[in-house]
Structure 1
Amino acid sequence: MSKFSLQGRTALVTGGARGCGLAFARGLAEAGANIAIFDVIPPDEAFASIEKDCSVRTAYYKLVALTILFYTIANPRRVDVSSEESLQAGFKQFQSDFNNALDICVPCAGINRHLPFLEFTYKDHQDLLSINVLGLYFTAQLAAKQMIANGTKHGSIVLVASMASHIAVRSQLCSAYCGTKGAVRSMCPAIAKELAQYNIRVNSVSPGYVRTEMTASFPHLLEGWKSEAMNGRIAEPEDIMGACVFLASDASAYMTGQDIIVDGGVTRW
Protein backbone atom coordinates (compact mmCIF):
# COMPACT_ATOMS: atom_id res chain seq x y z
CA MET A 1 0.00 0.00 0.00
CA SER A 2 3.01 2.31 0.30
CA LYS A 3 2.85 2.82 -3.46
CA PHE A 4 -0.41 4.72 -2.96
CA SER A 5 1.24 7.17 -0.54
CA LEU A 6 1.66 10.77 -1.71
CA GLN A 7 3.46 11.85 1.45
CA GLY A 8 5.67 14.88 0.85
CA ARG A 9 4.28 15.61 -2.62
CA THR A 10 2.42 18.71 -3.79
CA ALA A 11 -0.74 18.64 -5.90
CA LEU A 12 -2.66 21.30 -7.81
CA VAL A 13 -6.35 20.80 -8.65
CA THR A 14 -8.29 23.24 -10.83
CA GLY A 15 -12.03 23.44 -10.28
CA GLY A 16 -11.26 22.22 -6.76
CA ALA A 17 -13.80 24.34 -4.91
CA ARG A 18 -16.59 21.76 -5.13
CA GLY A 19 -17.81 18.60 -6.87
CA CYS A 20 -15.30 16.15 -8.32
CA GLY A 21 -12.45 18.65 -8.02
CA LEU A 22 -12.99 18.97 -4.28
CA ALA A 23 -13.21 15.18 -3.93
CA PHE A 24 -9.95 14.81 -5.86
CA ALA A 25 -8.28 17.37 -3.59
CA ARG A 26 -9.55 15.53 -0.52
CA GLY A 27 -8.38 12.13 -1.79
CA LEU A 28 -4.91 13.39 -2.67
CA ALA A 29 -4.62 15.04 0.75
CA GLU A 30 -5.74 11.85 2.51
CA ALA A 31 -2.89 10.10 0.68
CA GLY A 32 -0.49 12.71 2.09
CA ALA A 33 -0.13 15.42 -0.58
CA ASN A 34 -0.12 19.15 0.07
CA ILE A 35 -2.96 20.70 -1.89
CA ALA A 36 -3.51 23.92 -3.84
CA ILE A 37 -6.72 24.59 -5.74
CA PHE A 38 -7.58 27.09 -8.47
CA ASP A 39 -11.22 28.13 -8.97
CA VAL A 40 -13.44 31.12 -9.74
CA ILE A 41 -15.82 30.49 -6.84
CA PRO A 42 -15.29 30.21 -3.08
CA PRO A 43 -14.56 26.65 -1.94
CA ASP A 44 -17.12 24.49 -0.22
CA GLU A 45 -16.86 24.47 3.57
CA ALA A 46 -15.46 20.93 3.33
CA PHE A 47 -12.23 22.32 1.88
CA ALA A 48 -11.48 24.14 5.12
CA SER A 49 -11.26 20.87 7.05
CA ILE A 50 -8.75 19.16 4.74
CA GLU A 51 -5.65 20.78 6.22
CA LYS A 52 -6.51 19.80 9.79
CA ASP A 53 -7.97 16.37 9.02
CA CYS A 54 -5.11 15.26 6.78
CA SER A 55 -2.19 17.18 8.36
CA VAL A 56 -1.19 18.72 5.03
CA ARG A 57 -0.79 22.23 3.73
CA THR A 58 -3.65 23.70 1.68
CA ALA A 59 -4.10 26.90 -0.31
CA TYR A 60 -6.88 28.34 -2.45
CA TYR A 61 -6.50 30.71 -5.39
CA LYS A 62 -9.43 32.64 -6.86
CA LEU A 63 -9.76 35.41 -9.52
CA VAL A 64 -11.23 38.93 -9.33
CA ALA A 65 -10.89 40.40 -12.82
CA LEU A 66 -7.18 39.86 -13.47
CA THR A 67 -6.00 41.01 -10.04
CA ILE A 68 -4.43 38.16 -8.08
CA LEU A 69 -4.82 38.35 -4.31
CA PHE A 70 -3.72 35.50 -1.99
CA TYR A 71 -5.86 33.83 0.61
CA THR A 72 -5.35 30.63 2.54
CA ILE A 73 -9.00 30.16 3.42
CA ALA A 74 -9.62 33.64 4.75
CA ASN A 75 -7.69 35.40 2.01
CA PRO A 76 -7.86 33.67 -1.43
CA ARG A 77 -6.16 34.48 -4.78
CA ARG A 78 -8.40 33.87 -7.79
CA VAL A 79 -7.50 32.01 -10.95
CA ASP A 80 -9.62 31.69 -14.08
CA VAL A 81 -8.26 28.92 -16.32
CA SER A 82 -9.93 30.42 -19.41
CA SER A 83 -7.73 33.53 -19.07
CA GLU A 84 -4.10 33.12 -20.11
CA GLU A 85 -3.04 36.07 -17.95
CA SER A 86 -4.93 34.85 -14.90
CA LEU A 87 -3.66 31.29 -15.25
CA GLN A 88 -0.04 32.41 -15.60
CA ALA A 89 -0.37 34.79 -12.65
CA GLY A 90 -1.91 32.03 -10.56
CA PHE A 91 0.96 29.67 -11.34
CA LYS A 92 3.51 32.39 -10.59
CA GLN A 93 2.06 32.98 -7.15
CA PHE A 94 1.61 29.27 -6.50
CA GLN A 95 5.27 28.69 -7.39
CA SER A 96 6.31 31.39 -4.95
CA ASP A 97 4.08 30.15 -2.14
CA PHE A 98 5.12 26.49 -2.50
CA ASN A 99 8.81 27.03 -3.38
CA ASN A 100 8.21 25.71 -6.91
CA ALA A 101 7.09 22.30 -5.57
CA LEU A 102 4.67 20.40 -7.79
CA ASP A 103 4.35 16.68 -8.45
CA ILE A 104 0.68 16.19 -9.31
CA CYS A 105 -1.73 18.26 -11.39
CA VAL A 106 -5.42 17.53 -11.91
CA PRO A 107 -7.01 19.98 -14.38
CA CYS A 108 -10.66 19.43 -13.43
CA ALA A 109 -12.28 22.82 -14.13
CA GLY A 110 -15.07 22.39 -16.65
CA ILE A 111 -18.51 23.56 -17.74
CA ASN A 112 -21.42 22.16 -19.75
CA ARG A 113 -24.28 23.59 -21.83
CA HIS A 114 -27.60 21.76 -22.31
CA LEU A 115 -28.51 23.01 -25.79
CA PRO A 116 -29.61 21.37 -29.04
CA PHE A 117 -26.93 21.08 -31.72
CA LEU A 118 -28.99 23.22 -34.10
CA GLU A 119 -29.22 26.04 -31.55
CA PHE A 120 -25.61 26.20 -30.38
CA THR A 121 -23.90 29.54 -30.99
CA TYR A 122 -20.24 30.37 -31.48
CA LYS A 123 -20.23 32.06 -28.07
CA ASP A 124 -21.70 29.00 -26.35
CA HIS A 125 -19.10 26.75 -27.94
CA GLN A 126 -16.23 29.14 -27.31
CA ASP A 127 -17.12 29.21 -23.61
CA LEU A 128 -16.77 25.43 -23.41
CA LEU A 129 -13.59 25.35 -25.47
CA SER A 130 -11.92 28.11 -23.44
CA ILE A 131 -12.34 26.20 -20.17
CA ASN A 132 -12.66 22.51 -21.03
CA VAL A 133 -9.95 22.39 -23.70
CA LEU A 134 -7.67 25.44 -23.68
CA GLY A 135 -7.84 25.94 -19.92
CA LEU A 136 -7.06 22.28 -19.31
CA TYR A 137 -4.31 22.15 -21.95
CA PHE A 138 -2.43 25.19 -20.66
CA THR A 139 -2.91 24.20 -17.03
CA ALA A 140 -1.19 20.92 -17.90
CA GLN A 141 1.52 22.75 -19.84
CA LEU A 142 2.34 25.18 -17.02
CA ALA A 143 2.26 22.33 -14.51
CA ALA A 144 4.65 20.28 -16.65
CA LYS A 145 7.07 23.20 -16.92
CA GLN A 146 7.02 23.59 -13.14
CA MET A 147 7.59 19.85 -12.62
CA ILE A 148 10.51 19.88 -15.06
CA ALA A 149 12.02 22.91 -13.34
CA ASN A 150 11.85 21.31 -9.90
CA GLY A 151 13.09 17.93 -11.14
CA THR A 152 10.25 15.87 -9.69
CA LYS A 153 10.71 12.10 -9.90
CA HIS A 154 6.99 11.47 -9.39
CA GLY A 155 5.33 13.73 -11.97
CA SER A 156 1.72 12.85 -12.73
CA ILE A 157 -0.87 14.85 -14.65
CA VAL A 158 -4.42 13.51 -14.43
CA LEU A 159 -6.63 15.07 -17.10
CA VAL A 160 -10.36 14.99 -16.41
CA ALA A 161 -12.22 13.78 -19.50
CA SER A 162 -15.69 12.21 -19.37
CA MET A 163 -17.80 9.24 -20.29
CA ALA A 164 -19.12 11.72 -22.89
CA SER A 165 -15.84 11.35 -24.79
CA HIS A 166 -16.74 7.69 -25.44
CA ILE A 167 -20.47 7.80 -26.22
CA ALA A 168 -23.33 10.11 -27.12
CA VAL A 169 -25.08 10.97 -23.86
CA ARG A 170 -28.59 9.88 -24.77
CA SER A 171 -30.48 11.96 -22.22
CA GLN A 172 -28.62 15.27 -22.61
CA LEU A 173 -28.16 17.79 -25.40
CA CYS A 174 -24.42 18.20 -25.04
CA SER A 175 -22.76 17.76 -28.43
CA ALA A 176 -20.21 20.52 -27.77
CA TYR A 177 -19.41 19.13 -24.32
CA CYS A 178 -18.84 15.68 -25.82
CA GLY A 179 -16.48 17.28 -28.33
CA THR A 180 -14.45 19.10 -25.70
CA LYS A 181 -14.08 15.99 -23.58
CA GLY A 182 -13.15 14.01 -26.67
CA ALA A 183 -10.38 16.55 -27.22
CA VAL A 184 -9.14 15.97 -23.67
CA ARG A 185 -8.99 12.21 -24.12
CA SER A 186 -7.33 12.50 -27.53
CA MET A 187 -4.62 14.90 -26.38
CA CYS A 188 -3.69 12.69 -23.41
CA PRO A 189 -1.49 10.10 -25.21
CA ALA A 190 0.21 12.76 -27.33
CA ILE A 191 1.15 14.83 -24.28
CA ALA A 192 2.18 11.67 -22.43
CA LYS A 193 4.59 10.78 -25.25
CA GLU A 194 6.31 14.17 -25.06
CA LEU A 195 6.58 14.29 -21.28
CA ALA A 196 7.81 10.73 -20.69
CA GLN A 197 11.43 11.87 -21.02
CA TYR A 198 10.91 14.12 -17.98
CA ASN A 199 9.51 11.37 -15.72
CA ILE A 200 6.04 12.87 -16.00
CA ARG A 201 3.14 10.52 -16.64
CA VAL A 202 -0.10 11.77 -18.20
CA ASN A 203 -3.39 9.88 -17.94
CA SER A 204 -7.06 10.76 -17.94
CA VAL A 205 -10.09 9.77 -15.94
CA SER A 206 -13.56 9.68 -17.50
CA PRO A 207 -16.38 9.98 -14.95
CA GLY A 208 -19.92 8.97 -15.78
CA TYR A 209 -23.01 10.52 -14.20
CA VAL A 210 -21.91 12.19 -10.96
CA ARG A 211 -24.05 14.05 -8.44
CA THR A 212 -22.46 17.52 -8.54
CA GLU A 213 -23.58 21.13 -8.89
CA MET A 214 -23.23 20.72 -12.68
CA THR A 215 -25.63 17.78 -12.87
CA ALA A 216 -27.96 19.31 -10.27
CA SER A 217 -29.38 21.38 -13.12
CA PHE A 218 -31.03 18.25 -14.51
CA PRO A 219 -33.09 16.75 -11.65
CA HIS A 220 -35.63 15.43 -14.15
CA LEU A 221 -32.95 13.20 -15.67
CA LEU A 222 -31.76 11.56 -12.45
CA GLU A 223 -33.99 8.48 -12.61
CA GLY A 224 -33.07 7.85 -16.21
CA TRP A 225 -29.38 8.12 -15.40
CA LYS A 226 -29.78 5.56 -12.65
CA SER A 227 -31.35 3.12 -15.08
CA GLU A 228 -28.44 3.54 -17.51
CA ALA A 229 -25.89 2.40 -14.91
CA MET A 230 -25.40 -1.32 -14.26
CA ASN A 231 -25.42 -0.74 -10.51
CA GLY A 232 -28.60 1.35 -10.64
CA ARG A 233 -27.27 4.60 -9.18
CA ILE A 234 -25.36 7.70 -10.16
CA ALA A 235 -21.96 8.37 -8.64
CA GLU A 236 -21.01 10.64 -5.79
CA PRO A 237 -17.76 12.62 -6.31
CA GLU A 238 -16.04 10.30 -3.84
CA ASP A 239 -16.72 7.38 -6.20
CA ILE A 240 -14.35 8.96 -8.75
CA MET A 241 -11.72 9.93 -6.17
CA GLY A 242 -9.94 6.56 -6.02
CA ALA A 243 -9.10 6.52 -9.72
CA CYS A 244 -7.51 9.96 -9.42
CA VAL A 245 -5.40 8.97 -6.40
CA PHE A 246 -4.33 5.78 -8.18
CA LEU A 247 -3.21 7.69 -11.29
CA ALA A 248 -1.40 10.27 -9.16
CA SER A 249 0.52 7.67 -7.18
CA ASP A 250 3.36 5.24 -7.82
CA ALA A 251 0.78 2.44 -7.84
CA SER A 252 0.22 3.39 -11.50
CA ALA A 253 3.91 3.97 -12.27
CA TYR A 254 3.75 1.94 -15.51
CA MET A 255 0.66 3.71 -16.82
CA THR A 256 0.80 6.69 -19.14
CA GLY A 257 -1.38 7.87 -22.02
CA GLN A 258 -4.32 5.85 -20.69
CA ASP A 259 -7.94 6.61 -19.79
CA ILE A 260 -9.88 5.11 -16.89
CA ILE A 261 -13.67 5.12 -17.23
CA VAL A 262 -15.55 5.31 -13.91
CA ASP A 263 -19.17 5.24 -15.02
CA GLY A 264 -21.00 2.43 -13.24
CA GLY A 265 -20.90 0.43 -16.46
CA VAL A 266 -22.92 2.88 -18.60
CA THR A 267 -20.57 2.58 -21.59
CA ARG A 268 -20.40 -1.21 -21.40
CA TRP A 269 -23.98 -2.33 -22.05
Structure 2
Amino acid sequence: MAALPLKGRVAVITGGARGIGLAFCQGLAEAGADIAIFDIISPSPAFKMISTEYSVRTKSYEVDVTSLSSLEAGFASVAADFDGKLDIFVACAGINKMVEFLSTTEADLDHLLNVNIKGVYFGAQLAAKAMISSATTCGSIILVASIASYITIRSLSQPAYCGTKGAVRALVAPMAAELSKHGIRVNSISPGYVKTEMTAPFPHMLEVWKGEIMNGRLAEPDDLKGACVFLASDASRYCTGSDILVDGGVTKW
Protein backbone atom coordinates (compact mmCIF):
# COMPACT_ATOMS: atom_id res chain seq x y z
CA MET A 1 0.00 0.00 0.00
CA ALA A 2 2.92 2.35 0.65
CA ALA A 3 3.73 2.28 -3.08
CA LEU A 4 0.31 3.53 -4.19
CA PRO A 5 0.19 7.17 -2.98
CA LEU A 6 0.88 9.79 -5.67
CA LYS A 7 1.26 12.89 -3.53
CA GLY A 8 3.50 15.48 -5.17
CA ARG A 9 3.09 14.05 -8.67
CA VAL A 10 1.45 15.84 -11.59
CA ALA A 11 -0.87 14.07 -14.01
CA VAL A 12 -2.27 15.14 -17.38
CA ILE A 13 -5.40 13.33 -18.57
CA THR A 14 -6.82 13.88 -22.04
CA GLY A 15 -10.59 13.53 -22.28
CA GLY A 16 -10.82 14.14 -18.54
CA ALA A 17 -13.95 16.27 -18.58
CA ARG A 18 -16.36 13.34 -18.27
CA GLY A 19 -16.80 9.58 -18.39
CA ILE A 20 -13.81 7.28 -17.92
CA GLY A 21 -11.37 10.19 -18.11
CA LEU A 22 -13.13 11.94 -15.23
CA ALA A 23 -13.03 8.73 -13.18
CA PHE A 24 -9.27 8.52 -13.79
CA CYS A 25 -8.93 12.12 -12.59
CA GLN A 26 -10.82 11.27 -9.41
CA GLY A 27 -8.77 8.12 -8.75
CA LEU A 28 -5.43 9.83 -9.28
CA ALA A 29 -6.49 12.81 -7.15
CA GLU A 30 -7.69 10.47 -4.40
CA ALA A 31 -4.16 9.00 -4.40
CA GLY A 32 -2.76 12.53 -4.04
CA ALA A 33 -1.78 13.59 -7.57
CA ASP A 34 -2.31 17.10 -8.91
CA ILE A 35 -4.53 16.98 -12.00
CA ALA A 36 -4.57 18.77 -15.35
CA ILE A 37 -7.08 17.84 -18.04
CA PHE A 38 -7.07 18.44 -21.78
CA ASP A 39 -10.51 18.45 -23.42
CA ILE A 40 -12.52 20.33 -26.02
CA ILE A 41 -15.60 20.40 -23.77
CA SER A 42 -16.07 22.14 -20.45
CA PRO A 43 -15.37 19.97 -17.41
CA SER A 44 -18.32 18.61 -15.48
CA PRO A 45 -19.19 19.94 -12.02
CA ALA A 46 -17.68 16.74 -10.60
CA PHE A 47 -14.26 17.74 -11.92
CA LYS A 48 -14.55 21.15 -10.31
CA MET A 49 -15.09 19.48 -6.93
CA ILE A 50 -11.92 17.35 -7.11
CA SER A 51 -9.59 20.04 -5.81
CA THR A 52 -11.64 20.65 -2.67
CA GLU A 53 -12.51 17.02 -2.06
CA TYR A 54 -8.96 15.67 -2.29
CA SER A 55 -6.88 18.79 -1.47
CA VAL A 56 -4.94 18.71 -4.74
CA ARG A 57 -4.30 21.25 -7.46
CA THR A 58 -6.50 20.97 -10.56
CA LYS A 59 -6.78 22.87 -13.80
CA SER A 60 -8.56 22.32 -17.10
CA TYR A 61 -7.27 23.38 -20.51
CA GLU A 62 -9.17 23.61 -23.77
CA VAL A 63 -7.04 21.39 -25.98
CA ASP A 64 -7.86 19.70 -29.27
CA VAL A 65 -5.86 16.46 -29.31
CA THR A 66 -6.07 16.29 -33.13
CA SER A 67 -3.96 19.45 -33.36
CA LEU A 68 -0.26 19.22 -32.57
CA SER A 69 -0.04 22.96 -31.94
CA SER A 70 -2.97 22.78 -29.51
CA LEU A 71 -1.29 19.91 -27.64
CA GLU A 72 2.01 21.80 -27.54
CA ALA A 73 0.26 24.85 -26.09
CA GLY A 74 -1.45 22.67 -23.51
CA PHE A 75 1.78 21.08 -22.29
CA ALA A 76 3.49 24.48 -22.21
CA SER A 77 0.67 25.77 -19.99
CA VAL A 78 0.93 22.78 -17.68
CA ALA A 79 4.68 23.33 -17.33
CA ALA A 80 4.05 26.96 -16.38
CA ASP A 81 1.22 26.23 -13.99
CA PHE A 82 2.65 23.12 -12.29
CA ASP A 83 6.26 24.19 -11.73
CA GLY A 84 7.64 22.34 -14.73
CA LYS A 85 6.61 18.93 -13.39
CA LEU A 86 4.97 16.04 -15.20
CA ASP A 87 4.96 12.48 -13.90
CA ILE A 88 1.82 10.84 -15.28
CA PHE A 89 0.09 11.04 -18.66
CA VAL A 90 -3.19 9.29 -19.44
CA ALA A 91 -4.37 9.34 -23.07
CA CYS A 92 -8.09 8.84 -22.61
CA ALA A 93 -9.59 11.13 -25.26
CA GLY A 94 -11.31 9.00 -27.88
CA ILE A 95 -14.32 8.75 -30.13
CA ASN A 96 -16.40 5.97 -31.63
CA LYS A 97 -18.30 5.89 -34.90
CA MET A 98 -20.76 3.18 -35.80
CA VAL A 99 -20.20 2.71 -39.52
CA GLU A 100 -19.98 -0.50 -41.51
CA PHE A 101 -16.80 -1.36 -43.37
CA LEU A 102 -18.41 -1.03 -46.80
CA SER A 103 -19.98 2.31 -45.87
CA THR A 104 -16.95 3.97 -44.28
CA THR A 105 -16.02 7.27 -45.90
CA GLU A 106 -12.65 8.98 -45.96
CA ALA A 107 -14.03 11.61 -43.56
CA ASP A 108 -15.20 8.89 -41.15
CA LEU A 109 -11.78 7.25 -41.08
CA ASP A 110 -9.85 10.51 -40.88
CA HIS A 111 -11.85 11.62 -37.84
CA LEU A 112 -11.24 8.36 -35.98
CA LEU A 113 -7.55 8.28 -36.90
CA ASN A 114 -6.99 11.89 -35.86
CA VAL A 115 -8.55 11.53 -32.41
CA ASN A 116 -7.79 7.91 -31.51
CA ILE A 117 -4.29 7.55 -32.96
CA LYS A 118 -2.77 10.94 -33.82
CA GLY A 119 -3.99 12.47 -30.55
CA VAL A 120 -2.67 9.54 -28.54
CA TYR A 121 0.65 9.38 -30.38
CA PHE A 122 1.59 13.02 -30.14
CA GLY A 123 0.07 13.43 -26.69
CA ALA A 124 2.33 10.63 -25.43
CA GLN A 125 5.32 12.01 -27.34
CA LEU A 126 4.96 15.48 -25.83
CA ALA A 127 4.32 14.00 -22.39
CA ALA A 128 7.50 11.91 -22.65
CA LYS A 129 9.52 14.98 -23.64
CA ALA A 130 8.06 16.90 -20.69
CA MET A 131 8.89 14.05 -18.32
CA ILE A 132 12.46 13.90 -19.59
CA SER A 133 12.78 17.68 -19.29
CA SER A 134 11.45 17.62 -15.73
CA ALA A 135 13.80 14.74 -14.83
CA THR A 136 10.99 12.78 -13.23
CA THR A 137 12.04 9.49 -11.68
CA CYS A 138 8.55 8.00 -11.85
CA GLY A 139 7.28 8.68 -15.36
CA SER A 140 4.22 6.68 -16.35
CA ILE A 141 2.35 6.91 -19.65
CA ILE A 142 -1.01 5.14 -19.81
CA LEU A 143 -2.86 4.69 -23.09
CA VAL A 144 -6.52 3.76 -23.18
CA ALA A 145 -7.20 1.00 -25.69
CA SER A 146 -10.33 -1.18 -25.69
CA ILE A 147 -11.64 -4.72 -25.79
CA ALA A 148 -12.21 -3.82 -29.46
CA SER A 149 -8.48 -4.42 -29.90
CA TYR A 150 -9.00 -8.04 -28.82
CA ILE A 151 -12.39 -9.12 -30.13
CA THR A 152 -15.01 -8.32 -32.74
CA ILE A 153 -17.87 -6.32 -31.24
CA ARG A 154 -20.52 -8.62 -32.61
CA SER A 155 -23.48 -6.44 -31.70
CA LEU A 156 -22.26 -3.28 -33.48
CA SER A 157 -20.44 -2.65 -36.75
CA GLN A 158 -17.37 -0.53 -36.07
CA PRO A 159 -14.31 -1.93 -37.87
CA ALA A 160 -12.61 1.46 -38.20
CA TYR A 161 -12.92 2.10 -34.44
CA CYS A 162 -11.61 -1.40 -33.68
CA GLY A 163 -8.64 -0.73 -35.95
CA THR A 164 -7.73 2.48 -34.16
CA LYS A 165 -7.87 0.82 -30.76
CA GLY A 166 -5.76 -2.06 -32.04
CA ALA A 167 -3.20 0.50 -33.15
CA VAL A 168 -3.18 2.10 -29.69
CA ARG A 169 -2.40 -1.22 -28.04
CA ALA A 170 0.27 -1.97 -30.66
CA LEU A 171 2.03 1.30 -29.81
CA VAL A 172 2.59 0.38 -26.18
CA ALA A 173 5.50 -2.07 -26.40
CA PRO A 174 7.71 -0.15 -28.87
CA MET A 175 7.10 3.10 -27.01
CA ALA A 176 7.97 1.39 -23.74
CA ALA A 177 11.17 -0.02 -25.23
CA GLU A 178 12.33 3.37 -26.49
CA LEU A 179 11.47 5.26 -23.31
CA SER A 180 12.85 2.72 -20.83
CA LYS A 181 16.29 4.36 -20.89
CA HIS A 182 14.61 7.53 -19.61
CA GLY A 183 12.94 5.70 -16.73
CA ILE A 184 9.49 6.12 -18.27
CA ARG A 185 7.05 3.21 -18.28
CA VAL A 186 4.33 2.81 -20.92
CA ASN A 187 1.26 0.61 -20.44
CA SER A 188 -2.35 0.53 -21.53
CA ILE A 189 -5.80 -0.23 -20.15
CA SER A 190 -8.43 -1.97 -22.26
CA PRO A 191 -11.90 -1.28 -20.87
CA GLY A 192 -14.88 -3.46 -21.68
CA TYR A 193 -18.44 -2.19 -21.95
CA VAL A 194 -18.70 0.87 -19.72
CA LYS A 195 -21.76 3.00 -18.95
CA THR A 196 -20.71 6.44 -20.18
CA GLU A 197 -21.94 9.16 -22.49
CA MET A 198 -20.49 7.15 -25.38
CA THR A 199 -22.69 4.13 -24.66
CA ALA A 200 -25.79 6.16 -23.70
CA PRO A 201 -27.05 6.35 -27.31
CA PHE A 202 -27.47 2.56 -27.35
CA PRO A 203 -29.91 1.73 -24.53
CA HIS A 204 -31.31 -1.14 -26.60
CA MET A 205 -27.90 -2.79 -26.48
CA LEU A 206 -27.47 -2.79 -22.71
CA GLU A 207 -29.21 -6.13 -22.17
CA VAL A 208 -27.36 -7.64 -25.12
CA TRP A 209 -24.02 -6.54 -23.70
CA LYS A 210 -24.90 -7.76 -20.22
CA GLY A 211 -25.47 -11.20 -21.69
CA GLU A 212 -21.96 -11.17 -23.18
CA ILE A 213 -20.23 -10.23 -19.91
CA MET A 214 -19.04 -12.92 -17.52
CA ASN A 215 -20.13 -11.05 -14.39
CA GLY A 216 -23.43 -9.92 -15.91
CA ARG A 217 -23.15 -6.14 -15.72
CA LEU A 218 -21.64 -3.21 -17.53
CA ALA A 219 -18.78 -1.42 -15.83
CA GLU A 220 -19.18 1.93 -14.15
CA PRO A 221 -16.35 4.40 -14.86
CA ASP A 222 -15.26 3.98 -11.22
CA ASP A 223 -14.51 0.32 -11.93
CA LEU A 224 -11.49 1.39 -13.99
CA LYS A 225 -9.91 3.75 -11.45
CA GLY A 226 -7.88 1.07 -9.67
CA ALA A 227 -6.07 -0.03 -12.83
CA CYS A 228 -5.13 3.57 -13.64
CA VAL A 229 -3.83 4.33 -10.14
CA PHE A 230 -1.89 1.06 -10.11
CA LEU A 231 -0.17 1.82 -13.43
CA ALA A 232 0.55 5.41 -12.38
CA SER A 233 2.08 4.39 -9.07
CA ASP A 234 5.26 2.70 -7.89
CA ALA A 235 3.20 -0.42 -7.20
CA SER A 236 3.58 -1.18 -10.92
CA ARG A 237 7.25 -0.21 -11.18
CA TYR A 238 8.09 -3.50 -12.95
CA CYS A 239 5.19 -3.21 -15.44
CA THR A 240 5.95 -1.73 -18.84
CA GLY A 241 4.83 -2.62 -22.34
CA SER A 242 1.74 -4.30 -20.90
CA ASP A 243 -2.03 -4.05 -21.27
CA ILE A 244 -4.54 -4.53 -18.46
CA LEU A 245 -7.96 -5.83 -19.47
CA VAL A 246 -10.76 -4.43 -17.30
CA ASP A 247 -13.65 -6.06 -19.06
CA GLY A 248 -15.72 -8.17 -16.66
CA GLY A 249 -14.43 -11.25 -18.47
CA VAL A 250 -16.16 -10.50 -21.77
CA THR A 251 -13.09 -11.34 -23.86
CA LYS A 252 -12.69 -14.71 -22.11
CA TRP A 253 -16.22 -16.01 -22.39
Number of aligned positions between the proteins: 253
Query: What is the aligned partner in structure 2 of residue 262 from structure 1?
Result: 246
Query: What is the aligned partner in structure 2 of residue 28 from structure 1?
Result: 28
Whether 2:111 is the aligned partner of 1:127: answer yes
Whether 2:78 is the aligned partner of 1:94: answer yes
Residue 99 of structure 1 deviates from its aligned partner by 1.8
Could you say what secondary structure the match of 1:243 adopts? helix
Q: Which amino acid aligns with 1:106?
A: V
Whether 2:42 is the aligned partner of 1:42: answer yes
Residue 163 of structure 1 deviates from its aligned partner by 0.5
Q: 1:108-187 to 2 correspondence within 5 Å?
A: 108-187=92-171
Could you say what secondary structure the match of 1:215 adopts? coil
Choose the corresponding residue for 2:228, options 244, 261, 269. Answer: 244
Q: Which amino acid aligns with 1:147?
A: M
Residue 98 of structure 1 deviates from its aligned partner by 1.1
Structure 2 gaps, min length 5: none
Residue 116 of structure 1 deviates from its aligned partner by 1.0
Query: What is the aligned partner in structure 2 of residue 11 from structure 1?
Result: 11
CA separation in 2, counterparts of 1:170 and 1:249? 35
Query: What is the aligned partner in structure 2 of residue 192 from structure 1?
Result: 176
CA separation in 1, counterparts of 2:231 and 2:43? 24
Whether 2:189 is the aligned partner of 1:209: answer no
CA-based RMSD of the aligned residues comes to 0.6
Whether 2:42 is the aligned partner of 1:58: answer no
Residue 173 of structure 1 deviates from its aligned partner by 1.1
Choose the corresponding residue for 1:84, options 58, 65, 68. Answer: 68
Could you say what secondary structure the match of 2:152 adopts? coil
Q: TM-score, normalised by structure 2?
A: 0.99
CA separation in 2, counterparts of 1:256 and 1:32? 22
Could you say what secondary structure the match of 1:260 adopts? strand
CA separation in 2, counterparts of 1:127 and 1:188? 22
Q: Percent identity?
A: 61
CA separation in 2, counterparts of 1:140 and 1:80? 14
Residue 135 of structure 1 deviates from its aligned partner by 0.3
Choose the corresponding residue for 1:231, options 215, 219, 225. Answer: 215
Residue 94 of structure 1 deviates from its aligned partner by 1.4
Structure 1 gaps, min length 5: 63-78
Listed one character per residue, the Cα deviations across residues 128-155 of structure 1 (whole Å, up to 9, x for unaligned) are 0001001001000000000000100000
CA separation in 2, counterparts of 1:92 and 1:153? 20
Listed one character per residue, the Cα deviations across residues 178-233 of structure 1 (whole Å, up to 9, x for unaligned) are 00000000010000000000110000000000000011111111100111111100
Residue 251 of structure 1 deviates from its aligned partner by 0.5
CA separation in 2, counterparts of 1:170 and 1:2? 42
Listed one character per residue, the Cα deviations across residues 10-65 of structure 1 (whole Å, up to 9, x for unaligned) are 00000000000000000000000000000000111100110011010000001xxx
Q: Which amino acid aligns with 1:31?
A: A
Residue 84 of structure 1 deviates from its aligned partner by 1.2
Q: Which amino acid aligns with 2:174?
A: A
Could you say what secondary structure the match of 2:238 adopts? coil
